[in-house]
Structure 1
């Protein structure tokens, strides 16, 4: 269960546990002292104004920040009880268990079929590839739209279809967690609705963490919501921090912190 305190946020069945995590880019502190637990088979939304560290924390969960020169993470993040920043942990293997869908759809310049098969093949999949491709596209609610053009380029699809293709690609490597960094920000309302419906379906099998600037979207799709904010630094920059984390209905209807209430009511942000 989630505690009533926004500073501890302890969930008994946490698949990812964040303990006193701060993230630096070079000498600049980007996010400070964050602690929260991600429950399994739930949707967790990260909301907050630009520059508050939502995406920075999200990228920590599959070590994408490792790819940014000068980035470092202090504190502890565990995945199923194991420190994911332990030197013995292979980041590539970790990313096969914690997939990611980015803000802008980024299909490979390959056929629809190969967009799905490529990652699975790289990860050593030995099963029936045709079945995996079909299953992944079905789970992404895309199969009926593309089943007759699997040899065509993934880049020929519409923006919304491309994003669902990227979700199918993430599913194909059989992850346990799917990270989504503003997956609907470049999509039209109809495509956004399809992705939101898809998120509802996927949480039956996956844990999903989504960063969104759309508070209505967070309230529609998530079970838990984390509100981040940022404060100015003496050097003129900003440092992000977690204000409050709780069940989504609590965050939107009865938050504990005044700053959360102001943000979700539209008074700033």
Structure 2
């Protein structure tokens, strides 16, 4: 039996990354990451393509384990437990730390069954109708779909589908929601709805978002980490974290020149 992940801790740090190095085979994709994710705040990862933002995000719920060549050194602590310890069940990690992907990916099922699917797998014993309504309300979607719960999730608009995926993530009662460019495939109005939803959700969840949209990072996040890429002597390109601070400081008074150049649009 895998060891359960405890949540008894006085600190407000939910995820602590210590000296993390991520490899795909011999390729060092992400180097020497030290980063604390605060509880009930939105943390944004920004930086140019290939700097390891999504790689780090997927380390947090062990989705990279599904890549055969993946290897991680260092620690990621979820409260007091190392997520990569031998006694930790990756399936339990993914329940506690949910993921919303770049493109909406509703299951080929009804809206109702999209919400209940994970709950059933995880042995939820409560009232399914109440779970569906509560999850859809939290995702600001209930009023739009309450009369068509038996319709296919794919019948919804792109923005509605993404909120359905957020509701699906919420339904299994995670503590953290990871969002990998959740608005990149959406129109401006749908993007605004998701951003408003993120503001509401942080009251109950810790959120980590990867975004290429710096205006979005400035709007939705409390803290921002800027990642960049450096070229090694052998010609490889390693991702690393340049700076991490309150979002207001990252955008208005960054300490590193590379951060200033990126947020001012000089590269990226």
Q: TM-score range by the shorter chain?
A: over 0.9
Cα separation, 2, equivalents of 1:233 and 1:148: 57
Cα separation, 1, equivalents of 2:203 and 2:36: 19
Partner of 2:267: 268
Superposition pairs of residues 61-76 of structure 1, within 5 angstroms = 61-76=60-75
Partner of 2:26: 27
User: Gaps spanning 5+ residues in structure 2: where?
Assistant: 1-10
Partner of 2:209: 210
Cα separation, 1, equivalents of 2:123 and 2:38: 28
Partner of 1:8: none
Partner of 2:5: none
Residue 235 of structure 1 and its aligned partner are, at CA, apart by 4.0
Cα separation, 1, equivalents of 2:15 and 2:77: 6
Cα separation, 2, equivalents of 1:233 and 1:136: 46
**RMSD of aligned C-alpha atoms?**
0.7
Partner of 1:124: 123
Partner of 2:229: 230
Cα separation, 2, equivalents of 1:142 and 1:63: 29
Partner of 1:5: none
Answer yes or no: is 1:189 the counterpart of 2:188: yes
Moved over 2 A (4+): 233-237
Partner of 2:97: 98
Cα separation, 1, equivalents of 2:79 and 2:156: 36
Partner of 1:244: 243
Partner of 2:4: none
User: Gaps spanning 5+ residues in structure 1: where?
Assistant: 1-11
Cα separation, 1, equivalents of 2:180 and 2:231: 24
Cα separation, 2, equivalents of 1:70 and 1:243: 26
Residue 99 of structure 1 and its aligned partner are, at CA, apart by 0.2
Answer yes or no: is 1:254 the counterpart of 2:253: yes
Cα separation, 1, equivalents of 2:118 and 2:218: 32
Answer yes or no: is 1:134 the counterpart of 2:139: no
Aligned residues: 258
Cα separation, 2, equivalents of 1:235 and 1:135: 53
